Structures are given as structure tokens and as C-alpha cells.
Amino acid sequence: VARTAVCPFFVAAPGRPILVDATSGDVTISLPAAGTESNGFSGTIKKIDSSVNTVTVDGNGVETIDGATTVVLKDRYQGVSIVCDATDWSVIGVAGFRGALVYLDAAQSIPNTTTTKLNFDQESYDTDSIHDNVTNNTRLTVPPGVTRIKLSAQVRWTFNATGVRQFDINGSVGLEAGHISSYIPTASGGTTVHNSVSPVINVVAGDYFELALYQNSGGALNAEGYSSGNACWFAMEIIK
């Protein structure tokens, strides 16, 4: 059963944390109108249960929280600290790990000499709606309020001993370090696996990243999926 609660703690006790148990259903915490609070009023909201239900922190009307109308807490012990400027709200701190790990469930065929993006259709976790399994499922997208991230990926190719194997992490905007790549100039005689990790990258909300593969074995070649026990995966870790 979904629940909605008005959050009065800014008036009664500025800075007092709100611990939310969403075991029985999704919970929405509705913030008071920013105009009714003084500049500098702050507070913390934290999800304390281990259920799959969410806690949504919702600005009043069209008021925003770091430019977004809501902040969604999905994981146990995930929390957010916010401050009011008498017009809108800003995030000043986040508790708990934030990020996403997505993977291929079934193998995806990569044509010969054709750069192809992987369509990730499964999620191990996603704390901030970074990925969608159906819409634009090639993408990991930077959520509101985030300014620094780290990316990592693994690609596993099916057996073939001919040609090169390469993947690139490409961004919707130019990356400070250029393309983040992994390149194997000569395929081994067995299954080929390679990984790559980015440095910490400066980003803005809405930037997105994709994993693009290339091979020239002479024919189509599979990037393996979880159903074979050897998943290709892609991850974003939120640093700040």
C-alpha cells in the first residue's frame, strides 16, 4: 500500500532526520513549500528497510530538488540531506552507495566490422533510475544532482581465434579522457574476456554513456549473456 506523508520537521526541528520504513509499500515524503521555510533550513530522509519498495522525496508543486521534482531512495540505508533556499531545495549530502550494474541476459550478435552498442536488458541494481531495461537500454544516464561518476565494463566474446576485439565506452558529450577503450589486437584460441575502468569523470545530469563493440573475425560473433553463465556487464558508480 503506497503512503504519502507531509514532512513537518523543517519547522518543528530543523536538521532532524526522518527514518522511513517502506516495508508495507512505497512511501512519498511531501516537502513543505520552500517559500514557507527560511533560507538554510535543512533535513535528512533515510530509507531503513530492505524491501524493494521506494521512498520518494517530493518537492511542493513545481518546486525542485537539485533541478528534479523528486529524489527516489531505493536501497536500505540510502538517504539524502537537503537544504532550502526559500525558493527550491538542494542536495547537500547522500548516504549509502549509489549506482547501477546492468548486464546482458542472452547473447547479442555483433556483426563483422560493424560497431554495435550492447542492449542491456537486466539490472543487478539501480539506485537512481540510471538505466531502463526497455527504453534506450544501451544507456547509463547521469541522474539529477550528480557531478562525478566512475564507469566500468566487461565484455566476453564467444570462442573464435580470428581478428581483433574492441569495446569503447562512449559518452553523449566528449569525455575528459577521450574514449575509454579495451583493445585485444589478436584474439586468443579460446573465449576472450576484457575489462576497462574509467577515471572519475566530471558530468552533468542527463549525460549518458554506452558500450560499443567491434570485431573483425570474418563473420558475426556473440557477446555472451548471463544465460550462458558469462555475462557482459556495464556499471556506473556515483562519486559525488
For residue 21, the one-letter residue type is D
pLDDT at 175: 63
Pick the residue with more confidence: 117 or 178? 117
Nearest CA to 238 out of 87, 99, 30 is that of 99
Query: φ and ψ at 9, to 5 degrees?
Result: -70, -20
Rounded to whole angstroms, the Cα distance separating 109 from 88 reads: 47
Give 16's pLDDT tier (boundaries 50, 70, 90): low
**Count of beta carbons in the 10 Å neighbourhood of residue 86:** 13
Angle, CA 29 vertex, CA 68 and CA 22 arms, to 5°: 115
Instruction: Give the pLDDT band of residue 12 (cuts 50, 70, 90).
Output: very low
| Region 34-56 average pLDDT | 85
Q: Greater confidence, 54 or 116?
A: 116
Render pLDDT for 227-238 as a digit per residue (tens, 0 to 9).
766 789 999 999
Predicted TM-score (pTM) of the model is 0.70
Whole-number pLDDT of residue 134: 95
Mean pLDDT score, 143-152 = 89
Rounded Cα distance between 83 and 45, Å, is 12
Could you give the angle at the alpha carbon of 38 between the alpha carbons of 72 and 92, nearest 5°?
40
Q: What does the pLDDT average to over 151-165?
A: 92
Q: Does residue 13 carry a pLDDT above 70?
A: no
Looking at residue 174, its pLDDT comes to 67
pLDDT tens digits for range 171-217? 887 665 456 888 888 766 667 889 999 989 999 889 999 999 999 99
* Cβ atoms of residues 64 and 88 within 8 Å: yes
Coil vs helix vs strand at 34:
helix
Distances (CA, A) of 10 to 39, 44, 66, 103, 221: 11, 10, 18, 41, 58
pLDDT at 92: 81
Closest CA to 140 of 100, 180, 87: 100
Q: Is a pLDDT exceeding 60 seen at residue 83?
A: yes
CA 120 – CA 102 distance, rounded (Å): 6
